[in-house]
């Protein structure tokens, strides 16, 4: 018997978003269970980042509802959105670290901006976040003095220093080679379980997402055409899921057919 799905921390219903008459989201819905790592998959340009930015209130959807912890995040509800921002962090694709600030200063910044903690308390919390992500020895270094993997961990330390309940990840493995993609997904999964936050990751990296995630969703034509556990995604016979999931196998078959054709034509007189 399948384990029961925890209650949603985040519930999205019928999200619509258009730009200059072009519909990017056309009724996208998603339930994000509390304490789970949920990956939103989709091809490049499918609207994954637009979907995530609507959740983070970076973009305003044209229609639809977003509920956080059961509370409706209405367009004009300043109090509800302020409460959401206190309890949520956003990890940008580019890390968005400040080059002029040290590692410690980068991590401390959200606490300085959103809390009334004393300087001593902020330093203590920030150092603890660096320690938890094995960066405390680099507290006085600037982002440019850190490796790409360390910069990712620094960005995550800054995201978790406020002890959020929800962390949104925008294409965290964009532009990385396979080994580094594996490392980033391992990092997200490790710390998501260690700290117990709920995570939403938008990505087009299927193998890594299926291994690391508790649940996955596939965004296509502005809607979620699949939502469920990775095993069901891997076994799905849905045409859209099949085409997206098995694109590498399809490429292999196509190339094999091309090579067979080349071999036979080269043998012809």
Q: Which residues of 138-159 are buried (b: 16+ CB within 10 A; e: fewer)?
A: bbeebbeebeeebbbbbbbbbb
pLDDT at site 122:
95
* Domains of the chain, first to last: 31-58+88-258 (3.40.50.300)
| 8 Å CB contact between 15 and 67 | no
Say whether pLDDT at 256 is over 70: no
Q: Give the E-state strand segments of 93-243 in sequence order.
A: 166-170, 198-202, 215-220, 223-228
Residue 175 pLDDT > 80, yes or no? no
pLDDT at 268: 45
Q: What is the rounded CA–CA span in Å between residue 55 and residue 167?
A: 11
pLDDT for 15: 97
Structure confidence at residue 262 as a pLDDT band (50, 70, 90): low
Percentage, residues of the chain above pLDDT 70:
91
**Does residue 35 contact residue 166 with C-beta atoms inside 8 Å?**
no
Condensed to tens digits (0 to 9), the pLDDT of residues 176-233 reads 788 878 888 888 898 899 889 999 999 988 889 999 999 999 999 999 999 999 999 9
On the question of pLDDT at 269 being above 60, the answer is no
Beta bridge partners of 220: 223
User: How does pLDDT run across 236-245, given as a tens digit for each residue?
Assistant: 999 889 888 8
Q: Is the pLDDT of residue 264 over 50?
A: no
Average pLDDT, the chain: 88
Could you tell me the pLDDT band of residue 255, with boundaries at 50, 70 and 90? low
Query: Which helix (H) or strand (E) element contains residue 40?
Result: strand 37-41
Confidence check: pLDDT of 267 > 60: no
Quick check: 154 and 94 in contact, CB under 8 A?
no
Distance CA 159, CA 188 (A): 12
Above 60 in pLDDT, residue 115? yes
Range in 8-22, 83-97, 104-118, 237-251 the model is least confident about: 237-251
For the stretch 60-90, pLDDT in tens is: 999 999 999 999 999 889 999 999 988 999 8
Q: What is the DSSP track for 81-130?
A: HHHHHHTEEEE-TT----TTS-HHHHHHHHHHHH----HHHHHHHHHHHH
């Amino acid at each position: 018997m399948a384990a029961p799905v925890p209650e949603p921390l985040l519930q999205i219903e019928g999200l619509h978003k258009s730009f200059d008459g072009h519909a990017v989201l056309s009724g996208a819905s998603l339930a994000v269970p509390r304490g789970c790592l949920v990956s939103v998959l989709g091809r490049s340009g499918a609207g994954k980042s637009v979907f995530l930015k609507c959740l983070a209130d970076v973009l305003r959807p044209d229609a639809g509802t977003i509920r956080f912890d059961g509370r409706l995040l209405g367009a004009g509800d300043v109090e509800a959105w302020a409460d959401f921002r206190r309890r949520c962090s956003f990890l940008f694709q580019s890390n968005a670290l400040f080059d002029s600030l040290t590692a410690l200063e980068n991590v401390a910044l959200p606490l300085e901006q959103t809390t009334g903690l004393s300087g001593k308390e902020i330093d203590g919390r920030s150092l603890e976040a660096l320690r938890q992500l094995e960066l405390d020895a680099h507290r006085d270094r600037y982002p440019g003095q850190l490796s790409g993997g360390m910069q990712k961990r620094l960005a995550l330390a800054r995201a978790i220093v406020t002890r959020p309940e929800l962390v949104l990840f925008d294409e965290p493995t964009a532009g990385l080679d396979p080994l580094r993609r594996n490392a980033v997904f391992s990092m997200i999964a490790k710390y998501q379980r260690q700290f117990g936050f709920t995570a939403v990751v938008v990505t087009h990296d299927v193998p890594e997402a299926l291994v690391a995630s508790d649940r996955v969703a596939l965004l296509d034509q502005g809607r979620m055409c699949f939502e469920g556990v990775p095993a069901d995604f891997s076994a799905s016979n849905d045409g859209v899921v099949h085409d997206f999931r098995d694109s590498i196998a399809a490429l292999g078959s196509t190339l094999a057919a091309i090579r067979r054709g080349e071999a036979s034509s080269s043998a012809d007189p």
